[in-house]
Structure 1
Amino acid sequence: MNRGWKRQGGQSLTEFLVAMFGFGFLLLGLLQAILFYRAKVLVDYAAQEAARAGATSGVDHTKMVHGFARGLAPLYATGNPGAAGAALALGSAELALTTGSGSITVISPTRAAYNDFAEQQFDGKKALPNDSLYFRPDTVGRSSGLNVQDANLLKIQVTYRYRLIVPVIDKLIGTQDVSGSILAGHTVYYLPIVGEAMVRMQSPIYNSGNLP
């Protein structure tokens, strides 16, 4: 009786430890999933901010990066209240993006669309026009396959390298950062998050170099 009880007690302890390990692993995975979903929502919002910045600046890349960082700023908030904390979060987001944590790719319009429809503006400079689109002909350009109305739709894709912070889970599902980025003595693991946005241009595009 005594020996049997000891064997059953040891087996129960083993089963308990296995169950607790599985439950703890499930909780860690759930926590990382919640954090990842939050980051995905912010990346989608940041893509819209980047697109709006591009639409009002002739697809200026610097201003688009600033818009992208503005949308991602909540990910870098440290709890400091007021304008100072917001400025610090924005600065941290911009630094992260300019050091390889994110990228912006312009999908449309293209240089072919610029070449099809660019014309001299009132200031004497050549640009892809944005004014009076409703009254312009919808003739399809020879090189781009678009009309001037569709050429004024700015479509971008953003990619953000989201750093995984939940232990164990980061190593299981993440990609190791091989760029030499080490944080607090630990290897960094990340997952790429991709977002897209499309808005109508609110300004002419002067610099065809801003386009793919």
Structure 2
Amino acid sequence: MKRGMLRRGAQTLCTRVERTEHARERMRGLLGRDLLADQQALWITPCNAVHTVGMRMPIDGLPGGGRHRAGGAPRGAAQSLARSLARARRAGTGRGARRRIGAAARAGTGIRGGGMSASRPGARAGTRGAGNRGRGASMAEFIIVLPLLLLLCLGIIQFGLLYQAKATLDYATLQAAREGALNYGRASAMRSGLARGLAPLFAHSAGLVGQQSALLYTNTIELSKPQAYRIDVINPTNAALQDFGRAGEYAGSTVREIPNDTLMFRNTTPGGSSGISVQDGNLLKIRVTYCYAMYVPFVNRTIFALMNKINNVYSTGKPGVDVPLAPNACYLLSTAEGSWRIPLESEAIVRMQTPFRGG
């Protein structure tokens, strides 16, 4: 980047001018600068547009241009710059203002400044033409848009995986409810059904060996992690078990269970504690909360921070480095193993096929 003064004959237009020479310099422009001193300017040539993204200062864009004359200066270029500077000074922005001067020269300029010349031969201008004129601006715009575009693409992938995980969890919850309905509502049976339903999330092949390996991993590792999942029995409640539970029928005198046979002939009066009938007490409804681990880079940290209300959304550290304002059910597990987990919930309801005992 050359530096000098901008003159028109004996008249000095600007005392401290920086002229861009390469596409990289035009692309950078004033990015990273806090201010420009008085009588300091950036001369961009060629320039079809000036972007202000990332600017931390007020700027005056003063265009200068004209038709190219072979071997000479562009007609009216210096005059237009002089008129623009004069108007800026009359408006109160001349002294102490921060200027960015863009000289949109179709083939070059002939204004000389402090030992540097911005003129270009006519033949060279004809060969390079308009192809390179907007290259710097296009590169700057691409760099600005690239992080947003990358975040959008990664977000689409991560939300697609979340949709798949939620659909798998819905199926696994139904499997857990069916296992509970067939096995007296026992928690161990529902855990087994949940593991079988979640196994597709960890299968890496479609064969029998892959299925068995996924089921083994889900049973012995994934669901064995503390707070990795939770199964809540919404219905029947303990109050329903107190209202309709009977001992000494099928399981002996020490086990209370809600009768499951001949329901159409039983009394439909609601229980005093539960407020539901014995028929409704035979509907098993469960809610499963599963801590799903996200793997897509950057997006997993962003979603994790938003769901735990962590102020530093763009943190690159491990979970637990920043203090969450509202940690969810998966925060402790994520902190312990260094993963990015968020809770997914699903509910299912089935009719009991065996007397409900719970436990």
Report the TM-score range of the alignment, normalised by the length of the smaller protein. Answer: 0.7 to 0.9
- The whole-number CA distance in structure 2 between the counterparts of 1:105 and 1:123 is 24
Partner of 1:198: 349
- The whole-number CA distance in structure 2 between the counterparts of 1:206 and 1:16 is 64
The range that moved more, 128-137 or 198-207, is 198-207
Change (3 A) 1:178 1:10: farther
- The whole-number CA distance in structure 2 between the counterparts of 1:122 and 1:154 is 19
Residue 233 of structure 2 is aligned to residue 121 of structure 1:
no
Partner of 1:160: 290
Q: Deviation of residue 181 (structure 1)?
A: 3.7
Partner of 1:84: 209
Q: Deviation of residue 87 (structure 1)?
A: 1.5
Letter in 1 for 2:232: T
Residue 186 of structure 2 is aligned to residue 60 of structure 1:
yes
Whether the 8 Å CA contact 1:97–1:103 is kept in 2: the answer is no
Q: Helix, strand or coil: the match of 2:260? A: coil
Q: Helix, strand or coil: the match of 2:295? A: coil
The total of aligned residue pairs comes to 203
Give unpaired runs (5+ residues) of structure 2: 1-19, 22-44, 48-131, 306-318, 320-330
Whether the 8 Å CA contact 2:282–2:356 is kept in 1: the answer is no
Q: Deviation of residue 206 (structure 1)?
A: 3.3
- The whole-number CA distance in structure 1 between the counterparts of 2:191 and 2:357 is 19
Partner of 2:174: 48
Q: Select 1:75's aligned residue among 194, 201, 213.
A: 201
- The whole-number CA distance in structure 1 between the counterparts of 2:260 and 2:144 is 64
Q: Deviation of residue 150 (structure 1)?
A: 0.3
- The whole-number CA distance in structure 1 between the counterparts of 2:357 and 2:151 is 54
Change (3 A) 1:62 1:123: closer
TM-score after normalising by structure 1 = 0.88
- The whole-number CA distance in structure 2 between the counterparts of 1:137 and 1:168 is 58
Whether the 8 Å CA contact 1:47–1:158 is kept in 2: the answer is yes
Q: Percent identity?
A: 39
Partner of 1:29: 155
Q: Deviation of residue 38 (structure 1)?
A: 0.3
Larger radius of gyration between Structure 1 and Structure 2: 2
TM-score after normalising by structure 2 = 0.53
Kindly indicate which of the two structures has a greater share of residues assigned to helix: 1
Give unpaired runs (5+ residues) of structure 1: none
- The whole-number CA distance in structure 1 between the counterparts of 2:163 and 2:201 is 12
The range that moved more, 37-46 or 81-90, is 81-90
CA RMSD of aligned residues (A): 2.1
Q: Helix, strand or coil: the match of 1:174? A: helix
Letter in 1 for 2:144: V
Q: Deviation of residue 115 (structure 1)?
A: 1.3
Partner of 1:138: 268
Q: Deviation of residue 96 (structure 1)?
A: 1.1
- The whole-number CA distance in structure 2 between the counterparts of 1:123 and 1:16 is 72
The range that moved more, 123-132 or 20-29, is 123-132
